[in-house]
Amino acid sequence: MEQLTKAPNEFGYILDNIKEIRDRVGNAAAKYRKPGDRIDIMAVTKTVEPEKVNFAVSQGITLLGENRVQEYLSKKDSYDSSASVHIIGHLQTNKVKYIIDCVDMIQSVDSLKLANEIERLASARGKIMDILIEVNIGDEATKSGISSEELFELAKRVSELEHLRIRGLMAIPPIGCGGDVFAAIHELYLKLGELDPARIRPDTLSMGMSGDYELAIEHGSNLVRIGTKLFGARKYLEV
């Protein structure tokens, strides 16, 4: 339900952006999806001050996406405790220990090495970590993610790990690509669900950002990651 809390003057633009994003998501869902289909809006919080993030949380945007471990650790104690945090950026194995206890999902698993480290640490804590496998659908050298050809072998291996739960896929399609690329990701997502129904029951396709989230919804995404359209242009800082 949309929150009606009055926005501080400096955050009024965030309130306007939230309304526009919700309207557009709702319209895309009405046009392309079945009634009742879930579509989550994630706030991408890279370089965004905690005060702005917490205001978005107060308006019902309670799913946060963090790109950088060091930045997240510097901000996490300032975040509203009702928020759910996912790691969406490339994750090095030596950084898993810093976030294993304080995030609800890791969306960027792209290697067995990383999966094994998450398994080791989750096992030591007696917890199950929800993950998405990140697919580099455009085989772009500048992006992380497993190739489409290697996806299902990785999924099989990861599904054998007792403390990881594969919830679906995450992807960042090439800028300006057509709907066929988004459709190809959705097809991989559907095939993932057929791979081993006893072990893999995907329910999350994380696809679509500020510039293409409506196209992503058209092609099956149920989690869109919005940064610029929510908080404005980012300040690119080295963190």
For the stretch 150-189, pLDDT in tens is: 999 999 999 999 999 999 999 999 999 999 999 999 999 9
Instruction: Let me know if residue 3 belongs to a domain.
Output: no
Tell whether the model's pLDDT for residue 86 goes beyond 80: yes
What is the rounded distance in angstroms from the CA atom of residue 173 to the CA atom of residue 142?
Answer: 12
Instruction: Let me know if residue 1 belongs to a domain.
Output: no
Q: Which residues constitute the domain of residue 171?
A: 9-231
Q: Provide the pLDDT confidence category of residue 2 given band limits of 50, 70 and 90.
A: very low
Closest among 119, 141, 115 to 128, alpha carbons compared: 119
Instruction: Let me know if residue 2 belongs to a domain.
Output: no
Mean pLDDT of 45-65: 97
Q: Tell me, what's the pLDDT at 235?
A: 63
Q: Tell me, what's the pLDDT at 83?
A: 98
Q: Is the separation of the CB atoms in 128 and 164 below 8 Å?
A: yes
What is the rounded distance in angstroms from the CA atom of residue 239 to the CA atom of residue 158?
Answer: 30
Number of alpha helices (DSSP H) and beta strands (DSSP E) in the chain: 9, 8
Q: Provide the pLDDT confidence category of residue 8 given band limits of 50, 70 and 90.
A: low
Q: What are the angstrom distances between the C-alpha of 36 and each of 43, 79, 105, 133, 224?
A: 22, 30, 24, 25, 17
Instruction: Let me know if residue 236 belongs to a domain.
Output: no
Tell whether the model's pLDDT for residue 1 goes beyond 70: no
Q: Is the separation of the CB atoms in 194 and 230 below 8 Å?
A: no
Residues 6+ apart with CB under 8 A from 62: 80, 82, 83, 84
Instruction: Let me know if residue 106 belongs to a domain.
Output: yes
For the stretch 182-191, pLDDT in tens is: 999 999 999 9
Domain CATH for 155: 3.20.20.10
Instruction: Let me know if residue 4 belongs to a domain.
Output: no
Tell whether the model's pLDDT for residue 238 goes beyond 60: no
As for how many domains the chain has, the answer is 1
Helix (H) or strand (E) holding 174: none
Average pLDDT value over all residues in the chain: 94
